[in-house]
Structure formats: C-alpha cells, structure tokens
Chain A
Amino acid sequence: MDIFLQQLVNGLTLGSIYALVALGYTMVYGIMELINFAHGEVVMVGALVALTVIQALSGQGWPVPLAVLAGVLAAMVVCMVLGLVIERVAYRPLRRAPKLAPLITAIGLSIVLQQLAALIWGRGYLSFPAVLPPVSVAWGGVIITAIQGVIVALAGLIMAGLLVLVQKTALGRAMRATAQNPAVAQLMGVNTDRVIALTFVLGSALAAVAGVMVVAYYNVGNYTMGFMLGLKAFTAAVLGGIGNLPGAMLGGLLLGVVESLGAGYIGDLTGGFFGSNYKDVFAFMVLIGVLVFHPNGLLGSRAQEKV
C-alpha cells in the first residue's frame, strides 16, 4: 500500500508537469486547430536556459532562491520570444496552405531547435546544480520531497491563474472568440493575429516553467529531453479532450499517475517479462486507446471538422 501511495505521489508530480506542457498544445489547438510539434523543444530550451543561468549565478555566490527565480524568469523570456518566432516563421505564412504544410514546418523547426541546442549546450547531460535542499516529509510510509511539493503547488497556481485569464479577462474573451470563429471575431474588432501570437507566447511561458520543473525534479537536462516529453504532453491533451483547458490539466495528471503506477507494477503484473524500461510505452498505449474508444477525450466536446 505504501508503494502504491508513493507511486501516486510521484505520478501526481510528473502529471503536473505534463499538464503544464499539455496546456500549451491544447491552447494552440483550440485556436488554430493545429498541433504545434515544436512545443516539446520549447520546454527543452526553457529547461536548458534556466539550468545555465542558475549554474552561473549560484557559482557567483547569489543566494539560492534568487538564482532559481532569475533562472525561471530568463527561461520564460527566452521561451516567449521563441514562441513568437515560431508562430511568425512556421505558422503565420501558412495559415491558408494545405494542412500538411504547417505540420512539416513544425517538425522541421523542432529538428532545428534540437540541433541548435546540441550546438550550444553540447550532446552530453547537464546536471542541475545541487542548490535546493533535499528536504522531505515522511507521511506514513510515503516520502514527499520539497521539490515535489513545490512543483505540484506551483503548477496548481499557474493553472488556476490561466483559467481566470481565459474566463475573466478581455484577452481571454478574445481568445475564446477567435477559437470559435476567427473570421467573425475579426469582424467584431478582435485583432486575431495578435491573439494567436499571444496564445503562443502564453503557452511557451508555461512550457518554460515546466522545463525548469523537469530539470529540478530529475536533476539532469539534455537537448533531446523535449521530444518524449512533448509526445507525452500531447497524449495528455488528447486524453483530456484536445482544445479543452481543464481537460489538459486532468489528462496530464491522469497520464502521470498511469505512467508511475504502470512502471511500478508492470514487472509484477507480467511475471518479470516486462520491466520499468517500458514506461515510455504507456503514454503511447493510452494515446491509441483514447483514439480508438473515445477520440474526443474525457472532457472534450464532439469535434466537428469545419467545412
């Protein structure tokens, strides 16, 4: 039972990160009906920028919380600019092109980002400096580390903030209007180009925070880290119902839990035939399962292709 609860805690932590990344996919999809393939790489860039800044500042004797904060802010700024550039270069010129075209530019751009990262940061693994105190709370037989607590709490706060932004502010209203019908929104005085660009910027800022969480949690970062993460977050978005914000959050948490429990128990369940090295397969099985049985996801409305 303790193992089960421990895996649940680990799963929720992981799931919070997936949820943040999934929000980026789902927001862009909700507005443009397009999968932003390069989103996983934005997470990677955010993670590596934060890592570098934190390493440099704490090396100069900055106090730990300040260095981490500066790292997060730097990552957010870089990623927001990156999101803006991605939208301008890869998607805006192709808004009227056949569907295949933006998919191909997106995959091309994600390769470019990966290779640029490999040039800047090298191909090895970068380790997160041990600046955070390894504090943990034992609760029954379950150990919750400080970093897990911070990740879950921060992710929760950000998601609540995003929901308020989308539901209560003028920008949120403009985003929802653009998602429903860009042409009409434009006629009503919404600057749809600006709304779409801001959606990318917002999603990229979330991706930056998620990236910092990943390196802080696993203690390592690498130029290839965005790929699998992006794939899983996309799965989370589909699981919750793509285009639906609460859906992405729910999907992220669920996927994190499924993956942790799956990796924890697969050995026992299959009599040792499959080990935890198959943990990356779960997300994929979830994706296929959802697409077969419930393609609209848990909270998604019936998706209708626009004619």
Chain B
Amino acid sequence: MNRLRMLGLAAAAALLLALPFITDATLGHGWVRILDFALLYVLLALGLNIVVGYAGLLDLGYVAFFAVGAYCYGLLASPHFDLHWPLWVLLPMGAMLAASFGVLLGTPTLGLRGDYLAIVTLGFGEIIRIFLNNLNTPVNITNGPQGVSLIDPLRIGPWSLGQVHHLAGFDIPIVVNIYFLFLLGVLFAILLSRRLEHSRIGRAWAAIREDEIAAASMGLHTRNLKLLAFAMGASFGGLSGGLFAGFQGFVSPESFTLQESVMILCMVVLGGMGNIAGVVLGAVLLSVLPEALRAAGSLQQDLLGHVWVDPSNLRMLLFGLALVLMMLLRPEGLLPARARQRELHG
C-alpha cells in the first residue's frame, strides 16, 4: 500500500514536471500561459477555501486581497516610484499587508452574524477598486485607471524569470519558468492547508462552521478564530497578487472586479468546499473552461452566422448557474470532503 502510494506520488511529480514542456511542444506558449494562470487560480482558491471551506465564512470580496498584493508588488517594483525592491521582500509583504486588511475588515464584522460578513466583503471589494481607480489625483499613488506598468519581472537572486534560459541544450521559455515558480507556491499552499486542516485550529474552525454556539460553549474563542481564518485566507490572496503583478508586468483596477471574486468562489464551491483536491480540481476546470468558451464564440459564428451569446457573458452566466445548481443538487461539490458528505447526506 505504502509502496503504491509512493509510486503514485512519483508519477504525479513526473507528470507535473513534464507538463509545461509537453504543453509547450504540442500546443504552444499560449497554453502554458493558461496553465500558469490555472496555478495562480489554484493558489487563490486554496486561500478562499480556508475562509469558506474550513471556517464556513462567505467572503464575496476576496479579489480585494489579491489587488492589495498586486499593487504592493507593482508600486514597489516598477519605475512608477522608481523603486525596485526584491521579490523576497515584496511577496511576504504583500501577503502580510493583505492579512492586515483582512483583520481590519473582519474585526467589526466577525463577531456578528455571518451574513454581515458577506455583504461587507462585497462592499470592500468595490471600495478597494474605487480607491485604486481614483487615487491618482492630487497625489498620484496608483496611477488611476491606467494602472501600473513596466513592473519588474519576477527574479530569484541572479535568476530573472522574465527571460529565456538555456539549460543543457534546452531553451526554457518564460512561461515555463513562471510555471515552476507558481507550482512551488501551490505546493507550499497545499502543504500549509493540509497541516492547518488537521491542526487544533483546523478542528476548531470545523466546530465553528458546524455550530458556532456549541463551539463557543466548548470554550473556543470564536471571533478570534474566525479572524485568523480570514487573515490566513487573505494572505494567500496577497501572495498570489504579488505573483500576478510580477508575471503580468502590469496591474490595473480592471483586473479586480466582483466577477473575479465570484469566479474564485465558484471554483471552491464547484470543486468541494473544504477539500483540497476538490478545490484544485475546481480551479483548474474553471480557469481552463473560459478558453474553451472562447471557441464557443467562433462556433456560433460558424453555425448560426452570428454571435448570439457573447463568450464572456456566457461564462458568467454559467458560473452563476453553477453556484445555484451545485447548492441545490450537490452541495458537497464534485470532490467532496468526507466530513462534509456525511453532514449533508446523513
């Protein structure tokens, strides 16, 4: 059994290592880029999973923390302020900044009923965007709707990931460099999530999620624990934001709309709240799906002679429907957490 497990892990590792090269060779750079984004979304979904899946709190403005991390990196590593801080300072800083925003936002709301949190986070997501959009006058901080461009590429020591490397006769393209960095981030996040889930804190979160009053009467400090979950989730968002900014080289308020928050929530719900494998599956599915829907646009053009349903419109429509249908028909998600399944189906 143990040997089988080892073999499985080795096969998975080999596949993950080879995947970008195979994709690059067969489908081209564009699809490796899609893989990169899929990994970024996995990271985001794992962060939101801590909040929604473990602690049972609905965060509808998760993208705000992503934005905080992205602007933290973008502003401090670009010609905008002529600052070029290194990655190992900026990534933790973005994560911590996002976490402190989470604490600021959670402190007034987490002691109250759960629904308040949902609506406050929804508002917070919009407010952050309004500030990013307007903080260019009279002092130019965020450069307004134009966003921050020419952000330094991700760089680890002397290794810039923003250029092609030659290794043992192979060319390693930029998107593949990024793939490995993001993969590292995802593995770290999975490890952390697993450890958290089975820790004392993770069990406390589960207790709060199931019955807050019972949990409190067992001596758990529910508000602080919820705050911790919220800040934890936010820090994942901040970290992904930094990675996003360094990868794109450009950030603008447009990337951080409510639609993104909903999409990440959808990944968590579709895959299975509280289950890491489920969340990863959900994130990969939903980040690759829009590419498939892009094809749906040209398909309509060919078949019906006219694009009846705009692909981005169709995408959001499907996401909304998925949220409703999953809750009604299969609330535990595609790959449910075992405990969740028991709760929902006696």
**Interface residues of A, Cβ cutoff 8 Å to B:** 34-35, 37, 89-90, 93-94, 97-105, 107-112, 114-116, 118-119, 227-228, 231, 234-235, 238, 272-273, 275, 277-278, 280-281, 283-284, 287-288, 291-292, 295, 303, 305, 307
Interface stretch (choices B25-33, B123-131, B173-181, B244-252): B123-131
**When chains A and B are docked, how far (Å) is the Cα of A283 from the Cα of B213?**
31
Looking at the complex, which one of A94, A104, A115 makes contact with B313 (CB distance below 8 Å)? A115
A293's nearest neighbour on chain B, judged by CB, is B108
Looking at the complex, which one of A104, A112, A116, A307 makes contact with B265 (CB distance below 8 Å)? A104
Contact of A103 with B58 in the complex, beta carbons under 8 Å: yes
**Interface residues of B, Cβ cutoff 8 Å to A:** 52, 56, 58, 60, 108-109, 112-116, 118-120, 122-124, 126-127, 130-131, 133-134, 137-139, 213, 258, 262, 265, 269, 309, 313, 316-317, 319-324, 326-328, 331, 343
Query: Which residues of chain A come closer than 8 Å to B113, judged between CB atoms?
Result: 303, 305
Extra 17 A-B pairs, beta carbons < 8 Å, given A108-B320, A280-B130, A283-B123: A34-B115, A35-B115, A37-B119, A98-B56, A99-B56, A103-B58, A104-B265, A105-B328, A108-B319, A108-B324, A109-B320, A116-B317, A272-B138, A275-B137, A277-B130, A281-B127, A284-B127
Contact of B118 with A103 in the complex, beta carbons under 8 Å: yes
Query: Which residues of chain A come closer than 8 Å to B124, judged between CB atoms?
Result: 284
Query: Which residues of chain A come closer than 8 Å to B331, judged between CB atoms?
Result: 97, 101
Give the one of B56, B60, B258, B323 with max A CB within 10 A: B323
What are 26 pairs between A and B in contact, CB < 8 Å? A34-B115, A93-B328, A99-B56, A100-B52, A100-B58, A100-B114, A104-B323, A104-B327, A105-B328, A108-B319, A109-B320, A111-B319, A112-B317, A112-B320, A115-B317, A227-B258, A231-B119, A238-B116, A272-B138, A281-B127, A284-B126, A287-B120, A291-B108, A292-B108, A303-B113, A305-B113
Query: Which residues of chain A come closer than 8 Å to B134, judged between CB atoms?
Result: 275, 277-278
Contact of B262 with A111 in the complex, beta carbons under 8 Å: yes
A97's nearest neighbour on chain B, judged by CB, is B331
**When chains A and B are docked, how far (Å) is the Cα of A172 from the Cα of B236?**
48
**When chains A and B are docked, how far (Å) is the Cα of A53 from the Cα of B317?**
25
Contact of B323 with A105 in the complex, beta carbons under 8 Å: yes
Looking at the complex, which one of A101, A112, A292 makes contact with B327 (CB distance below 8 Å)? A101
Least Cβ distance of A43 to chain B in Å?
16
Least Cβ distance of B305 to chain A in Å?
18
Looking at the complex, which one of A107, A228, A295, A307 makes contact with B126 (CB distance below 8 Å)? A228
Give the one of A89, A114, A275 with max B CB within 10 A: A114
Contact of B316 with A111 in the complex, beta carbons under 8 Å: yes
Query: Which residues of chain B come closer than 8 Å to A116, judged between CB atoms?
Result: 317
B213's nearest neighbour on chain A, judged by CB, is A307
B309's nearest neighbour on chain A, judged by CB, is A119
If A35-B119, A108-B324, A111-B320 touch, does A273 touch B138 (CB 8 Å cutoff)? Answer: yes
The number of A-B residue pairs with CB atoms under 8 Å apart is 124
Query: Which residues of chain A come closer than 8 Å to B131, judged between CB atoms?
Result: 281
Least Cβ distance of A271 to chain B in Å?
9
Contact of B120 with A104 in the complex, beta carbons under 8 Å: no
**When chains A and B are docked, how far (Å) is the Cα of A146 from the Cα of B319?**
43
Query: Which residues of chain B come closer than 8 Å to A238, judged between CB atoms?
Result: 116
Contact of A107 with B323 in the complex, beta carbons under 8 Å: yes
A110's nearest neighbour on chain B, judged by CB, is B320
A112's nearest neighbour on chain B, judged by CB, is B320
B269's nearest neighbour on chain A, judged by CB, is A104
Contact of A291 with B112 in the complex, beta carbons under 8 Å: yes
Least Cβ distance of A286 to chain B in Å?
10
Looking at the complex, which one of A35, A109, A235, A281 makes contact with B324 (CB distance below 8 Å)? A109
Contact of B123 with A287 in the complex, beta carbons under 8 Å: yes
**When chains A and B are docked, how far (Å) is the Cα of A214 from the Cα of B126?**
21
**When chains A and B are docked, how far (Å) is the Cα of A225 from the Cα of B85?**
41
Least Cβ distance of B204 to chain A in Å?
18
**When chains A and B are docked, how far (Å) is the Cα of A307 from the Cα of B137?**
51
If A228-B126, A277-B134 touch, does A105 touch B327 (CB 8 Å cutoff)? Answer: yes
**When chains A and B are docked, how far (Å) is the Cα of A100 from the Cα of B209?**
10
If A115-B316, A227-B258, A291-B108 touch, does A99 touch B327 (CB 8 Å cutoff)? Answer: no
Contact of A119 with B323 in the complex, beta carbons under 8 Å: no
A93's nearest neighbour on chain B, judged by CB, is B328
**When chains A and B are docked, how far (Å) is the Cα of A303 from the Cα of B138?**
44
**When chains A and B are docked, how far (Å) is the Cα of A5 from the Cα of B258?**
36
**When chains A and B are docked, how far (Å) is the Cα of A113 from the Cα of B58?**
20
**When chains A and B are docked, how far (Å) is the Cα of A112 from the Cα of B112?**
29
**When chains A and B are docked, how far (Å) is the Cα of A101 from the Cα of B134?**
36
Query: Which residues of chain A come closer than 8 Å to B127, judged between CB atoms?
Result: 280-281, 284
**When chains A and B are docked, how far (Å) is the Cα of A235 from the Cα of B320?**
24
If A305-B113, A307-B213 touch, does A118 touch B119 (CB 8 Å cutoff)? Answer: no
If A227-B258, A231-B122, A287-B120 touch, does A90 touch B324 (CB 8 Å cutoff)? Answer: yes
**When chains A and B are docked, how far (Å) is the Cα of A103 from the Cα of B56?**
11
Query: Which residues of chain B come closer than 8 Å to A89, judged between CB atoms?
Result: 324, 328
Give the one of B112, B115, B130, B331 with max A CB within 10 A: B115
Contact of A288 with B108 in the complex, beta carbons under 8 Å: yes
Contact of A105 with B324 in the complex, beta carbons under 8 Å: yes
Query: Which residues of chain A come closer than 8 Å to B262, judged between CB atoms?
Result: 107, 111
Query: Which residues of chain A come closer than 8 Å to B109, judged between CB atoms?
Result: 288, 291
Contact of B115 with A99 in the complex, beta carbons under 8 Å: yes
Least Cβ distance of B143 to chain A in Å?
15
Least Cβ distance of B99 to chain A in Å?
18
**When chains A and B are docked, how far (Å) is the Cα of A291 from the Cα of B343?**
32
Query: Which residues of chain A come closer than 8 Å to B324, judged between CB atoms?
Result: 89-90, 105, 108-109, 112
**When chains A and B are docked, how far (Å) is the Cα of A303 from the Cα of B126?**
28
Contact of A278 with B130 in the complex, beta carbons under 8 Å: yes
**When chains A and B are docked, how far (Å) is the Cα of A282 from the Cα of B138?**
20
Query: Which residues of chain A come closer than 8 Å to B108, judged between CB atoms?
Result: 288, 291-292
